Amino acid sequence: MLSEEVKIYKKILEKELGKDKFQEFTKAIGLYSHGAGIGSFVYLRRIFEVFIYQAKDEALSNNDIQEEDFINARMVDKIDLLKEYLPEVIVENKILYGFVSKGVHELSEKECKEYFSIIKDGIELILDEKIAKRKAQDKKDNFKKNSSKAHQEILAKVDK
């Protein structure tokens, strides 16, 4: 059974990252809870990489980067290249990816289990930032719509 703490990320993971990403996030947590450190790191890495590749697609569509520059860059440099498109948590903590990658390739099961919570917390912080931005944008959109409607209503009353 999933905790409420994890369920709050379902909508953002599925809507923004893809239908399978919530499942991957919960699989990482499940693997960790059953003692699988490296396996849990693999799923967290997949989620982290989606943030990077979504930012790349957005930057490319805005002609802010060249695909060749992205392809030839190391992940730390990719993060620098995409800093305007990435959540602040990623930009300020570039080491997060190296941490996850090292876990997949070099750390022991024990070490991966030891560091799992740090990576999970980092991903949750990224998701929290995305949720906050979405809420702020929804409020702005709602305000704009309602203030425009109110303005029209007031103008209609004045014209009478």
89-136 pLDDT, tens digit each: 899 888 887 777 777 788 899 998 998 999 899 999 999 998 999 899
What is the pLDDT at residue 153?
83
The answer to which of 21-35, 58-72, 94-108 has the lowest mean pLDDT is: 94-108
* DSSP 8-state class, residue 63: T
Integer Cα distance of 88 and 7 in angstroms:
23
What is the pLDDT at residue 1?
52
Assess whether pLDDT exceeds 80 at residue 4: no
What is the pLDDT at residue 101?
77
The predicted model scores a pTM of 0.80
The answer to which of 35-39, 101-105, 110-114, 147-151 has the lowest mean pLDDT is: 101-105
Assess whether pLDDT exceeds 80 at residue 68: yes
95, two tokens = 């080491």
What is the pLDDT at residue 22?
93
What is the pLDDT at residue 61?
94
Find, among 133, 116, 149, the residue nearest to 39 by Cα: 116
- In the numeric block, the tokens 């809507």 are attached to 15
Average pLDDT, the chain: 88
Residue 8 in 3-state DSSP? coil
Burial bucket for residue 110 (CB in 10 Å: 0-12, 13-18, 19+): exposed
